[in-house]
Amino acid sequence: MDWLIPLTLTVITASTPLLLASAGELITEKSGVLNLGVEGMMLVGAIAGFAVTASSGSAILGILAAIVAGILMSLIFAFLTLTLMANQVATGLALTIFGVGFSALVGSGFVGFAIKPLPGLHIPFLTDLPVIGEILFGQDFLVYLSIAAVIGIGFFLTRTRAGLILKAVGDSHSSAHAIGYSVIKIRYLATMFGGAMSGLAGAYLSLSYTPMWAENMTAGRGWIALALVVFATWRPGRLLAGAYMFGMISVLQLHAQSAGVHVPSQFMSMLPYLATVIVLVIISSDRAKIRLNAPACIGQAFRPAQ
């Protein structure tokens, strides 16, 4: 049992940034917008959160800065695609490239600088319980926020009028516009939420997962988050399970190497991305399920009638 707690804790920390970023992207895509710039928004959020925390000594200010940075990045994307009608795929890719370069530029003075990680929760008696205490009641608040966000998103999409309107915009923007809903405004808000969650995911990486700054520290997690939304077929419950499954695959390489498994380290490092490709191939084979759950207008530009 000595291995259970370290393994579980590692899986949780590896899964949390994936869950945060994919939850935001799910809302964005439900509105009919395909933002491939998650990786770039995460990187900008990571450096914004780390720089502000390192400079001010306040993790709360750092997290707020990361959220604002993610929103600003998403607004660049939204302005280009929703207002200027630029291609969403090309713009999202450009946003990621911009985020990689911009974060490296801003973070050049923080390379190798370490800070204290976010403190874990401590509830007297509960946190001290054997095994489950440290796992369930000893995490930092962003872990609990990620799970609460998924639950809240599920409730929002199925139980609220605003959630139904969001899905209506994603499924048929022309019909939603015809009955009086502002498609562009709703998509702006959904894109901004996705940016905020991506910035928060980046902050978790630089403030908790590895409390230091390193260039390109997201290491492709933004792309895995995008794949998770498809893997979950745009359902929040499946998103939670998928994020933790991919988190387990991500840490498998570390524990396999420490256990002395004689497999090339390069192969172990590519396991999360190999799993992403395999899952997408499997999901894509069932086109009927994708058509049933995917927003019908995803990636399609909308121009209001004059």
Q: Is residue 302 part of a domain?
A: no
Asked, for residue 303, whether it belongs to a domain, the answer is no
Tell me, what CATH number does 21's domain have?
1.10.3470.10
- Residue 234's CB: how many other CB atoms inside 10 A? 23
Q: Is residue 269 part of a domain?
A: yes
pLDDT in tens, 7-62: 888 899 999 999 999 999 999 999 999 999 999 999 999 999 999 999 999 999 99
Q: What is the dihedral of CA 266, 267, 269, 271, to 10 degrees?
A: 160
Could you tell me the CA-to-CA distances from 138 to 184, 223, 251, 268, 282 in Å, in that order? 42, 29, 20, 29, 36
Three-state DSSP state, 161: helix
Question: Measured at the alpha carbon of residue 75, what is the angle toward residues 30 and 110, in degrees to the nearest 5?
Answer: 115
Residue 214 in any domain: the answer is yes
Sequence-ordered list of residues with C-beta below 8 angstroms from that of 42, at least 6 positions apart, any chain: 17, 21, 70, 99, 198, 199, 201, 202, 205, 218, 221, 222, 225
Per the domain annotation, does 62 fall within a domain? yes
Give the structural domain span for 151: 4-120+131-293
Q: What is the pLDDT of residues 82-136, one digit of tens each?
A: 999 999 999 999 999 999 999 999 999 898 888 999 988 888 887 878 878 888 8
Domain membership flag for residue 166: yes
pLDDT at residue 305, rounded to an integer: 65
Q: End-to-end distance of the chain based on CA atoms, in angstroms?
A: 67
Per the CB < 8 A criterion, the answer to whether 68 and 47 are in contact is no
Residue 188: closest CA among 42, 86, 277, 80: 80
Statement: residue 306 has pLDDT above 60: no
Number of domains in the chain: 1
| Assigned domain for 64 exists | yes
List, for residues 172-217, the tens digit of each pLDDT value: 999 999 999 999 999 999 999 999 999 999 999 999 999 999 999 9
Q: CA 191 to CA 147: how far, in whole Å?
A: 20
Is 273 in contact with 224 (CB distance < 8 Å)?
yes
Q: Is residue 164 part of a domain?
A: yes
